Copies of this chain bind each other. A is one copy, B any other.
């Protein structure tokens, strides 16, 4: 998330009650998660395991619960006891949840020749391009950006919160929500089926690129990037922060785990499960998904076990 305008570290430190170690007059341009952070951004870290990665990341300012770390030149620390709570405070300050009473927010920018059907919800600062059809009972949540010639079938949800929690099993409620402040970006000529759900990025964007088509009940997790001209059949589920390169085909009920990459023009056959990255240009099958030919041969081998048993018994 970018701030509406750059803000000094001093102001941030007051907001989250932190001590500045470095240059108080330096400005932050936004806040992002570690894997999405850019120069000028704030990042937060509360576990020693990730101190170094955060300090060495693109982040310019690090909200941290430890002062005894070596800070790279030009970077600033914001020291506080609970960086996770500091993150929530910043998000709630710059992107507070606000309800709305009208189904379509008045600040929504909707292009020419675009049809918004009845019972559609459109949140704040949503942009929708030209020649789109948004079918009934669709929910388009805050900050979503939709290009031109996009069709979204009925009942679909664009921009629901990330399923992303801070976990501590020694408290009464184990999971505390990492408040989402990112959005969903849908490019030109994308079509999305009925009853789909696309989560927004935690701090950045979930992106669906040009020409990709999804059938009904497809789920796309937060911060996932989907390339151009992909084809997802019904009931496909893709977890968070995954990269699906251009031209990938996923057949019905395929499940894809988080933070992996499926290479360009790969095809994954129906009901397969993808627990780790797959190279492009090949066809995969099964759980865990392997090259389809390998897997098919395996099925044949399984059928030969009784014959093998008999051979062994006879010897």
Contact = CB atoms under 8 A, between A and B. Distances in A.
A17 to B, nearest CB: 23
Contact of A216 (B219, B229, B312): B219
A155 B175 contact: no
A116, A169, A273: which has the most chain B beta carbons within 10 Å? A273
Contacts of A237: 217, 234-235, 252-253
Nearest to A165: B213
A136 B136 contact: no
A109 interface: no
A139 interface: yes
B121 A103 contact: no
Contact of A213 (B175, B210, B273, B301): B175
Contact of A121 (B137, B253, B301): B137
A271 to B, nearest CB: 4
A110 interface: no
A90 to B, nearest CB: 20
Given A216-B219, A234-B237, A237-B252, A103 B160 contact: no
A99 B175 CA distance: 38
A161 B153 contact: yes
Nearest to A116: B99
A201 interface: no
Nearest to A305: B301
Contacts of A315: 312, 315
B100 A117 contact: yes
A119 B210 CA distance: 30
What is the predominant secondary structure among interface residues of chain A facing chain B?
A: loop
B172 A197 contact: no
B175 A160 contact: no
B135 A139 contact: yes
Nearest to A189: B173
A250 to B, nearest CB: 13
Given A252-B237, A252-B255, A301-B302, A137 B117 contact: no
A34 interface: no
Interface string A31-50: 00000000000000000000
A174 interface: yes
A203 to B, nearest CB: 18
17 contacts: A97-B133, A99-B117, A154-B160, A155-B156, A155-B157, A163-B215, A172-B210, A173-B210, A175-B211, A175-B231, A195-B217, A234-B237, A235-B237, A237-B253, A301-B302, A304-B305, A308-B308
